[in-house]
Structure 1
Amino acid sequence: MTKIKVLHIIKSLGRGGAEMLLPETLKLHDKDKFEFHYIYFLPWKDQMVGSLEEAGGRVACLEAKDNIRLLLQYKKTIEYCKDHKIDLIHCHLPWAGFLGRWVHKKTGIPMLYTEHNMQERYHPATKSINKISFNSQSLALGVSQDVTDSIKENIKPNIPVRTLLNGVNTESFQRSCNSHIRRELGIPKDAIVIGNVAVFRFQKRLVEWLQVIKRIREKNSNVYGIIVGAGPLEKEIKMEWKDSGLQNIVFLPGLKIDVKSYFEALDIFMMTSSFEGLPIALLEAMSMECAVVSTSAGGIKEVIRNEEDGLTCKVEDWQKLSDLCQILIDDPEKLKTFKRAARERVLKEFSLTKMVDELEIIYSDFVTK
């Protein structure tokens, strides 16, 4: 049987939500039916390359120092498609999408685009190019209904737009009793640990996250925090961390490829985000039985039903997160209930297997048309 050759195009393969999905989905894809290729452009953001290659993907870096140079790699991308007889292109995030649409127009190869963010949150220039070029592709996929609605309202495209919810590998992300992180960080066994895994960007509001932890800590001496990640706002976040006197309370281990052991150290996964698509880290935390306390930003409200799968508040009411955490700190049985509820929710509705099955149907439909 001739395999369907799919080329994923993405700006970088660092540790972001969209990037991390690629190796996880590749592990579950039917390799007898599909062959997967990956092109990225920022060689210094390559944390996912090893995982992709281990899972059987073919990875190529077409180096580009900025977005304009990225677009100028369209000729090499076309050559790659011809050399490897690519049947279908699947792009992620705007600049890879712009390049992919150009390639689609030049070659006629079907192209899918997954949108991971709300249109309202993009830079005006990015929004404008997105709107102008959006119809030069075969299909758009929104990672949440909010994201899909944002595409339809802001772009009003002529091409089909569907929602394909992000998923998590619930087999891989299962809690065990082998976490060594608490011991390594010197966190007491009986402590309540609140954490987050995020790129240090403004929409994550990690300065506010630290303020919430500081308030919780004023009432509870046995509460600790962990934020795994790095990013452009690292300087500001570390300044708040020091100014708040949280150096021995909240731990910042930096960017990590394997975050499973950190999820195992957490009791509560807390998000202060001002906006989101559908965060992969949230689904991973839920699969690892972390109770969720969060703002109801973007796709989060499609995942967490308040007081059923976790506890949420409005984006502008982020200061209430300390009170929501306190509810779980004061009631160990309720904390256990929400830990179980989180995993049950992703098992039922956000399994990566379900997502991959739907993707393979979409891929097959386009190639066999």
Structure 2
Amino acid sequence: MKRLLLITERFAPDVGGLARSATRLVGTLCQLGVVVDVVTWSRYLQQGEVLPPESIDGKSRIYRIGLYRNWDMTMPHTLNVLEWLHSCWHYDAVWGHYVFPSGFLATWFGGMQGVASTVSARGNDIDKEMFPPGDFARLQWTLQHTQVITAVSADMSRKIQLLSGRDDVLVLKNAVDTEVFAPQSAVGEISRESLGIAPEEVVLGFCGELREKKGQQFLLNALTTVRNQRPACLLIIGEVRASQEFALQVYATQHPEHAQRIIVTGHLPDTQVVAAHLQLCDVYLQPSLWEGMPNALLEAMACGCCCIASDAGGIAEVITHGEDGFILPRSQLHKLGEAVLECLTMPSTIKSQITQAARDRILKKYSIAQEQQRLQIVLDRLLKNQR
């Protein structure tokens, strides 16, 4: 039985798509018969503290390490923990989920220990880290020296090829549990009434951690445009990043009545509850400025939501405009509200065709079973690189 060491900055119950994808990835690897030990960091522990391992499936474990204030302390300490774990378990390979810091540490540790490494590029780690104040040299070194690279979209794969000069990048798409994320009602306790949504209100949905890169200002502007024409609310299924709360306060000052119709659920760790909230959305919005392959959009499509998204990153690989959703170019995101109003006037028969096509797209290309097949290819290539 193969044993894998996976390093990730976030893991359940942490917030965000990175934690969701890492948690799902580990579950799928375990199903493939791989023993996975996860090393992740926590802001809620004492600096350098290492918690006793948590069991995942009786064989795999999670090790949580307390972050120092700076990476120049966190990374050397983490390497000490990795060396200790490797001396105990003798890993066959090491996986870095996200290029920095996880991918860099995985590549360096793998090289020092003679263990094959792989790096999973997700989104911000390429689109953001290649620009200042990101460390371009460290990014490029990691991409050039790891044995196997996976990218979450074909768009990201092309960027990695340009940065690294490699032509062997594997596309490992995100996947959705289509039994949980489905059109039918999942949790009876969740209703429009329980959230304070009026019967006549249109529900504009967004899922995840709301912040600037997700198009926060365009969401607020869209709410204003729609509410000037008809009753509506903005349902944020997740949290607002602390650094972005000021933008909401400014909006509340400028548009107090509209701001009262922003509903923030807070972090929802139960995926069935997330699905139940998505099922309440009349239109799901993903006006991202840059992206990898957003889990939330895939989940909304699987739930049969009518989706309007930007053309950032791999989104255009998921949605075919007018067939299973709608694409709004990033240069036109100021027209998001108008696009929502147009979507709401669609005949119900056309909307049903689009939402069914959206779910069919996810079932066909983004299922857990397909992720297993792609992961097996990654594992086969990775383990061939054992030194």
- TM-based fold match above 0.5: yes
Per-residue deviation, 1:24: 2.4
- Comparing 295-304 with 232-241, greater Cα deviation is found at 232-241
> Which residue of the partner structure matches residue 303 of structure 2?
288
Deviations 1:263-308 (A, max 9, x none): 1221211012111011111111111111111111111111011111
Distance 1:342 1:247 in 2: 30
Deviations 1:112-134 (A, max 9, x none): 10001263422433322111332
Q: Where does 1:59-98 land on structure 2 (aligned, <5 Å)?
A: 59-65=62-68, 66-72=70-76, 73-93=78-98, 94-98=100-104
Distance 1:32 1:138 in 2: 21
Distance 1:337 1:144 in 2: 26
Partner of 1:199: helix, strand, or coil?
strand
Find the partner of 2:269 among 251, 257, 268. Answer: 257
> Which residue of the partner structure matches residue 122 of structure 2?
116
Distance 1:77 1:140 in 2: 21
Q: Where does 1:1-369 land on structure 2 (aligned, <5 Å)?
A: 3-13=1-11, 14-29=14-29, 31=31, 33-44=33-44, 53=55, 57-65=60-68, 66-72=70-76, 73-93=78-98, 94-117=100-123, 119-122=126-129, 123-124=131-132, 125-157=134-166, 160-177=168-185, 178=188, 180-189=190-199, 191-221=201-231, 223-227=232-236, 228-243=238-253, 244-245=255-256, 246-258=258-270, 259-333=274-348, 334-367=350-383
Structure 2 unaligned residues grouped into runs of 5+ = 46-50
Distance 1:330 1:147 in 2: 35
| Distance change (3 Å), C-alpha of 1:36 and 1:30 | closer
Per-residue deviation, 1:199: 2.1
Equivalent residues of 2:8, 2:22 under 8 A apart: no
Deviations 1:280-339 (A, max 9, x none): 111111111111111111111110111111111110100222222112211251333322
Equivalent residues of 1:169, 1:353 under 8 A apart: no
| Distance change (3 Å), C-alpha of 1:70 and 1:332 | farther
| Distance change (3 Å), C-alpha of 1:179 and 1:339 | farther
**Identity, % of aligned positions:** 20
| Distance change (3 Å), C-alpha of 1:352 and 1:189 | farther
Equivalent residues of 2:118, 2:382 under 8 A apart: no
Task: Give the AA of the match of 1:136.
Answer: H
Per-residue deviation, 1:30: 5.1
Distance 1:28 1:100 in 2: 20
Equivalent residues of 1:43, 1:61 under 8 A apart: no
Distance 1:84 1:155 in 2: 32
Deviations 1:99-146 (A, max 9, x none): 111111111111110001263422433322111332221111110011
Equivalent residues of 1:291, 1:339 under 8 A apart: yes
Partner of 1:79: helix, strand, or coil?
helix
| Distance change (3 Å), C-alpha of 1:28 and 1:190 | farther
Structure 1 unaligned residues grouped into runs of 5+ = none
Distance 1:250 1:53 in 2: 39
Alignment coverage as a number of residue pairs: 360
Distance 1:240 1:339 in 2: 35
Per-residue deviation, 1:234: 3.0
Per-residue deviation, 1:156: 2.1
- Comparing 305-314 with 200-209, greater Cα deviation is found at 200-209
Equivalent residues of 2:94, 2:115 under 8 A apart: yes
| Distance change (3 Å), C-alpha of 1:174 and 1:142 | same
TM-score with structure 2 setting the length:
0.86
Per-residue deviation, 1:198: 2.6
Per-residue deviation, 1:262: 1.7
| Distance change (3 Å), C-alpha of 1:95 and 1:29 | closer
Deviations 1:343-364 (A, max 9, x none): 1111111112211221123214
> Which residue of the partner structure matches residue 48 of structure 2?
none
